[in-house]
Every structure is written in C-alpha cells, then in structure tokens.
C-alpha cells in the first residue's frame, strides 16, 4: 500500500490527522532509490503516520491544504535532484524534460523548490514546524555560491523560513527529531541532534566547541575569505572529527551540528527491506509514466558514501567519505524480489552506488578515528593504508548472477578504474569484462591533462591509459566486442586552451568522438565550484585559471567535438589563440583542415 496522498486515502486508512506531511518536488515513486520514499517508510516503521503531497502547484493553495495540518510538522524536499540542475543546463538554458515528473513534463516544480515550497507552507501554516532536507537543502546548508544568480547566497534555512535542516542521508536524524517532537519538545529547542542545522538568536544556544566561520558579510566582501570558509566546512564533514560550525548573519546565528554517524550494515539492510511498492503511484497511470523509474526499477543499491574525493563532486559534502554497505543476504533477497516482478526480463541493470566497486570501508583507521582531514584515500597514488580488494563485491555479483531467472547482472553506476588497477588480484577485472558489461563500460577519467587532473583530484593520465589497454586485452581474451565510454569534462578550473587542445589530441588518437560533452557545472558544495567562484584553489590558496567567458567555454567544448563541422570556426580560433596552427592542415595529426 502506498503512503496516503489524498483525503480519500486518509479516510480509507482511518487517519484523522497525519503526524507528518511531506512536500516533494518529485512525483511520488515508492522505491528505495527515492529519498522521499525512504524517509516516509522509515517514519512509518517507527509508528508515525506520513502523507505525501507530490509536486504541488505553488500557485494553488488548495493542493498544500489537501491533507490538513500535521500534528508534528512538514517535511520539505526538492526531490532526488537539485531543482536548478533539474531545470537548467550549464549554459543556463531551460531543459525540456524532467525525468522525475509524469510524462517527463517540465515545469511541475518551481525553481529553488525547497525554498518556494517551505515559504508557501510557512504562509499557510504559520505555527507548524518545517523541516527541510534532501540534496538541495543539504548542499545549501551554509552560505554558498549560487551559479544561477552568480552570487553568494545565505544558508537556505534563512531564505526558506524553515525551522530545521537535516543534511546528508537523514534516516537516523529524522527519527530522532520525530521522537522529540512527539514527546512535546518545541522545534526551536531541538538544537542538539547530529546531522542537523538550526538557526537561533540566542547566543547561549551556540555549542562551546563551535568553530566560528567568517561571517556572511565577510565572505561577500572577499573571495579569499570565502575560500578559507569553504575549507573549514570541507574539513568538518566526518562524523568523528567534525566540530559544530557557527556562521553569523545580521539577524541570525546559523549552527551546523557535526554529521550523524553512518548507518550500520544491519540498519541499512532494514532500510532496504521496508515495504516499498517499488513503483510509481497509480495516479500516474493516467497522468503519465515517470521516466526516472526505468533505470532504477531493476537496479540494486549496495553502498553509500565515496572516498574518491573528486573536487567537482558533492558526495563528500552530502554523504561523507565513509562507505556504508548492505549485506550480501540483503542484496540477494532484493534481487529475488525483483525477479518476481511481472515486467522483469531477466536483466539486473546495476548493483552499485555512488561508486559501484567501493563496497568496503577504505581502511580500519576510519572506523575508530574517522577519515583523514588533510589526506585523501585516492590521489595521484593510493594511501598506503587503503585496503584494495573486490572480493566481497565480487562475491555478491557471482551469487546474484546465478539466481534463477536472471540472465545478466550489469554494473552501470560507474567504477573507479584506478581502484581496479590497484587491485593485484585481477579476478574482478576479468569477471567485470566477461559477465557484467552491457555493450559499453562507462568510466570517468574526466580529463587527460595532469594539470587539470590535479585540480580535479584525479589520478594521472598514465594510469587511465594502462586501464584502457588492459580492458581491451580482456575483451579480446573473452571474445567480446565491448567499448569504453569515457566521461570528459570541459572548462574545468585549471584548464586553459593548452590543456583543452591536449584533450582534443587525445581524442584524435583514441579515435573516439563523443556525441555529448559536459561542461563543468558549478553546483553548491564542491571544491571545484569554490575554485570557479574565487579563482583560488582553497587547498593551497594559489590562483587557478578559470574559463568563465562564454566564448572560452565554447572553444573548449568545441575542441572535444572538433570533427563536428558546426564547430569549425571555434576550433580554428582556439588553435590559433593556443599557438597550435600545426594542427590545422592536411596531415594525419591535424584536427581540422585550412579554411577553403
């Protein structure tokens, strides 16, 4: 049975008043790949009644009033994806499709959805507690650079008029908050739960060990101060070592408590065993199919967190670097459940997470002492303490692929090729190629210039080249005709025309011509976004080149697709400005021919 979404549902369940009402920017899909479903089912499992209002029209008060006034409060989320990323390309053009809406229709949620929904709830229910969460709120929990308005915005707690923010993967925190609300504690006094951010005017509510960040006015005035503030936030994302953070505004104090602890394996197994319907709500049979379900319906989440440390990725800031994973029994049980679905055709689309082959904790030290603050597990070379093994993950893949009615088990959520190469036991690499690639394997070198890779916190090109060579050797060994699809980012901080031309030459030699190119997208919470805004590498405070002008970015993007005739003028200009006219000609190494 789905969670209630209408008055009729409440009557059918004999619910006079809900404990919580969840406002979501996504259509309601009751599947464990959707955060709203997980939080709703978690609360339900602890005896709380929860209703969902999916994608309410911000101009229609009736839709917000549909389920009445909750006993304990409103929960507000933009959904599975940041509403601004959902709505706009990196060039700030409006997208035409929303994968989380019926029929893929665009425009069913507002820009800055968390803020707009929360403000509307505050207008209609002035006395109800409002708790915001999800990726959009999590990455904006303190002052942050906003690419879409090209400004530094305040903590989303202030703009949204919400009472409390829960950041990260919030199952543990939301249950604690819910229990205290049920006991009668005022939402304004819930200031002590890990994984939460609160606002106050009372100085006595500031923890004694809080680190005072530069004030909002100070980071507005000085980009160097912004970069320093960013690093303080970046260095306080581990649940063991982090301290509370204090950010001062003219009329508010914003305090971030340290992150909550990771869920245990048993807790994670319990989460994914909750009674999800594993599909979208029946109302969408008429309103339109929800495209986002297609890839995840027959996929299995095996882990959370990532210790890859890519500068352009917000995972460290949102989920943290500690790996949390489910037991093999739990994963196999879900696989068996999937095989019984009437639409199942025999193919498990994925078993993975943020990084599929990060199944185990990086090292034993992290369990007792937390992650290292000034050291990464994977940089140019792996940390000596890093445990490199695919044994447990491989054991899961082997067992699932042997289940009745399963033809293939694919790995599509992405692997860290460097971790694969560091593993001296090559069983995983062999079996990955032999059994788990669906025609093409997606990997993420992101760039091939060591200058840019250093800014991205990715390994040097040499390692990727060795991975590519080994991959095709294994394909030949197993008589497979499977390809590699490398993800490449153009215009990342640190990439001048010189590095962009270097990437184009690599593509030429690879004989790979990408149909799509991803420009670097500055989203809140990432180190690369800090570089983009400040022109500084916050790790060293040294200046870094940032391609900001529209033409500079267009040239870098065009170089990656130099074969496209539409890009000729941009490529010609880039090669001229980059003093590489030797690449304009009729010889084999040339990228383009001279002008006619």
pLDDT band at 206 (very low <50, low <70, confident <90, very high): very high
Sort 184 into a burial class: Cβ within 10 Å, 0-12 / 13-18 / 19+.
Answer: exposed
CA distance 430 to 433: 5
Can you tell me the mean pLDDT for 111-138? 98
Q: What number of other Cβ atoms are within 10 A of residue 14's Cβ? A: 6
Alpha-carbon span 19 to 67, nearest angstrom: 11
What does the alpha-carbon distance between residue 313 and residue 458 come to, in Å, rounded to a whole number?
Answer: 12
Q: Where in the chain do CATH 3.30.750.200 domains reside?
A: 439-596
Cite the residue boundaries of each domain of the chain with CATH code 3.40.50.2300: 7-191
In this predicted structure, the answer to whether residue 143 has a pLDDT above a threshold of 80 is: yes
Please, what CATH class does the domain formed by 298-436 belong to?
alpha beta
Please check the confidence at residue 596 and state whether its pLDDT lies above 80.
no
Query: Over 90: is that where the pLDDT of 476 sits?
Result: yes
Q: 546 CB contacts (<8 Å, ≥6 apart)?
A: 493, 531, 532, 535
Would the CA dihedral through 150, 155, 159, 160 be positive or negative?
Answer: positive
Pairing of strands 245-248, 211-212: parallel
Q: What is the DSSP string of 268-303?
A: HHHHHTS----EE-TTHHHH---TTHHHHTTEEE-E
- Indicate if the pLDDT at residue 405 is higher than 80: yes
Question: Which runs of consecutive H residues, i.e. helices, occur in 478-587?
Answer: 497-510, 527-534, 550-560, 568-577
Which pLDDT value is given to residue 463?
95
pLDDT in tens, 313-364: 998 888 889 999 999 999 999 999 999 999 999 999 999 999 999 999 999 9
Strands 440-446, 483-490: pairing kind: parallel
Helix locations, 319-460, DSSP H? 328-339, 364-369, 391-401, 417-422, 427-435, 450-456
CATH 3.30.750.210 boundaries in the chain: 298-436
The reported pLDDT for the residue numbered 515 is: 75
- For residue 152, list its beta bridge partners: 145
CA-CA distance, 230 to 534, in Å (whole number)?
Answer: 11
Q: Which tokens go with 365?
A: 């030290």
CB count within 10 Å of CB 297 equals: 18
- Quote the pLDDT of residue 446: 92
Burial class (CB in 10 A: 0-12, 13-18, 19+), 127: exposed
**Which pTM was predicted?**
0.95
103 Ramachandran zone, left/alpha/beta (phi>0; psi -120 to 50) = left
Mean pLDDT computed over 462-470: 95
CA nearest neighbour of 308 among 326, 324, 325, 321: 321
Give the model's pLDDT for residue 511. Answer: 83
CATH no. of 439-596: 3.30.750.200
* Average pLDDT of every residue of the chain: 96
Burial, 320: exposed, middle or buried (Cβ in 10 Å; 0-12, 13-18, 19+)?
A: buried
Question: What percentage of the chain's residues is helix, strand, coil (to nearest 5)?
Answer: 40, 15, 50
What is the rounded average pLDDT of the residues 501-519? 88
pLDDT tens string 58-116: 999 999 999 999 999 999 999 999 999 999 999 999 999 999 999 999 999 999 999 99
Question: What pLDDT does 267 receive?
Answer: 98
> Dihedral (C-alpha) 95, 99, 100, 102: value to the nearest 10 degrees?
100
Helix (H) / strand (E) element for 409: namely strand 408-409
Q: What is the pLDDT of residue 373?
A: 87
**The token pair that represents 133 in the structure block:** 């969460």
CA–CA dist 184, 590 (Å, integer): 73
Q: How many CB atoms sit inside 10 A of residue 526's CB?
A: 24
Separation between Cα atoms, residue 140 and residue 523, nearest integer Å: 10
CA dist list (Å): 19 to 22, 34, 47: 10, 21, 10
Write phi, then psi, for 377 (nearest 5 degrees): -70, -40
The token duo for 260 is 């909550």
Length of the chain: 596
Which candidate, 388, 380, 398, 331, places its Cα nearest to that of 360?
Answer: 388
Q: How confident is the model at residue 375 (pLDDT cuts 50, 70, 90)?
A: confident
* C-alpha gyration radius of the chain: 25
Q: Is 76 helix (H, G, I), strand (E, B) or coil?
A: strand
User: What pLDDT, on the 0 to 100 scale, is given for residue 419?
Assistant: 96
Based on the number of CB atoms within 10 Å of its own CB, is 422 exposed (0-12), middle (13-18) or buried (19 or more)? middle
pLDDT of the residue at 230: 97
3-state SS record for 29-62: EECCCCHHHHHHHHHHHCCCCEEEEECCCCCCHH
Given pLDDT bands bounded at 50, 70 and 90, which one contains residue 445?
very high
pLDDT confidence of residue 197? 98
CA distance 149 to 130: 26
What's the 3-state SS for 142-174? Answer: CCEEECCCCEEECCHHHHHCCCEEECCCCHHHH
Top-level class of domain 7-191: alpha beta
Residues in CB range of 362: below 8 A, 6 or more apart: 307, 321, 323, 371, 377, 383, 385, 386, 387
Per the model's pLDDT, the better-predicted residue between 555 and 512 turns out to be 555
């Amino acid at each position: 049975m789905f969670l209630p979404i209408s008055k009729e549902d409440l009557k059918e369940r004999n619910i006079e008043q809900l404990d919580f009402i969840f406002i979501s920017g996504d259509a309601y899909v009751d599947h464990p790949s959707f955060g709203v479903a997980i939080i709703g089912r978690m609360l339900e499992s602890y005896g709380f009644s929860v209703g969902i209002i999916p994608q309410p029209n911000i101009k229609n008060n009736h839709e917000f009033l549909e389920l009445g006034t909750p006993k304990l409060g409103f929960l507000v989320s933009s959904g599975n994806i940041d509403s601004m990323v959902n709505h706009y390309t990196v060039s700030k053009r409006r997208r035409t499709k929303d994968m989380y809406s019926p029929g893929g229709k665009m425009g069913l949620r507002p820009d800055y959805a968390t803020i707009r929904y929360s403000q509307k709830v505050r207008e209609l229910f002035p006395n109800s507690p409002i708790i915001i969460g999800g990726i959009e709120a999590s990455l904006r929990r303190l002052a942050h650079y906003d690419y879409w308005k090209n400004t530094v915005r305040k903590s989303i707690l202030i703009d949204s008029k919400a009472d409390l923010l829960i950041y990260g993967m919030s199952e543990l925190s939301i249950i604690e908050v819910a229990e205290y609300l049920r006991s009668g504690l005022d939402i304004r006094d819930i200031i002590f739960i890990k994984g939460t951010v609160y606002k106050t005017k009372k100085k006595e509510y500031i923890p004694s060990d809080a680190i005072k960040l530069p004030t909002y006015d100070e980071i507005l005035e000085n980009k160097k101060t912004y970069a320093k503030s960013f690093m303080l936030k970046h260095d306080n994302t581990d649940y063991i070592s982090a301290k509370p953070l204090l950010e001062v505004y003219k009329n508010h104090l914003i305090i971030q408590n340290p992150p909550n602890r990771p869920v245990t394996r048993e807790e994670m197994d319990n989460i994914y065993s909750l009674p999800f319907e594993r599909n979208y709500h029946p109302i969408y049979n008429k309103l339109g199919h929800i495209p986002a379900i297609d890839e995840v319906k027959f996929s299995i989440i095996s882990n959370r967190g990532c210790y890859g440390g890519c500068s352009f990725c917000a995972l460290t800031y949102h989920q943290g670097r500690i790996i949390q994973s489910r037991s093999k029994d739990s994963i196999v049980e879900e696989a068996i459940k999937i095989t019984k679905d009437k639409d199942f055709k025999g193919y498990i689309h994925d078993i993975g997470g943020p990084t599929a082959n990060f199944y185990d904790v990086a090292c034993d030290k992290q369990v007792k002492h937390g992650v290292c603050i000034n050291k990464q597990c994977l940089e140019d070379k792996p940390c000596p303490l890093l445990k490199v093994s695919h044994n447990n993950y491989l054991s899961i893949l082997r067992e699932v692929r042997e289940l009745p009615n399963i033809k293939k088990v694919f790995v599509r959520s992405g692997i860290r090729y460097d971790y694969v190469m560091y593993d001296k036991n090559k069983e995983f690499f062999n079996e990955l190629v032999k059994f788990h690639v669906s025609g093409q394997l997606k990997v993420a070198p992101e760039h091939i210039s060591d200058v840019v890779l250093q800014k991205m916190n990715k390994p040097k090109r040499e390692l990727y080249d060795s991975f590519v060579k080994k991959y095709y050797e294994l394909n030949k060994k197993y008589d497979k005709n499977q390809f590699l699809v490398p993800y490449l980012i153009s215009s990342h901080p640190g990439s001048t025309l010189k590095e962009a031309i270097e990437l184009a030459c690599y593509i030429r030699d690879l004989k790979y011509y990408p149909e799509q190119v991803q420009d670097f997208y500055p989203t809140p919470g990432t180190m690369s976004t800090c570089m983009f805004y400040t022109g500084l590498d916050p790790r060293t405070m040294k200046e870094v080149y940032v391609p900001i002008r529209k033409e500079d970015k267009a040239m870098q993007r065009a170089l990656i697709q130099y074969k496209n005739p539409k890009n000729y003028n941009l490529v010609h200009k880039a090669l001229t400005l980059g003093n590489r006219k030797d690449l304009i000609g009729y010889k084999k190494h040339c990228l383009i021919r001279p002008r006619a």
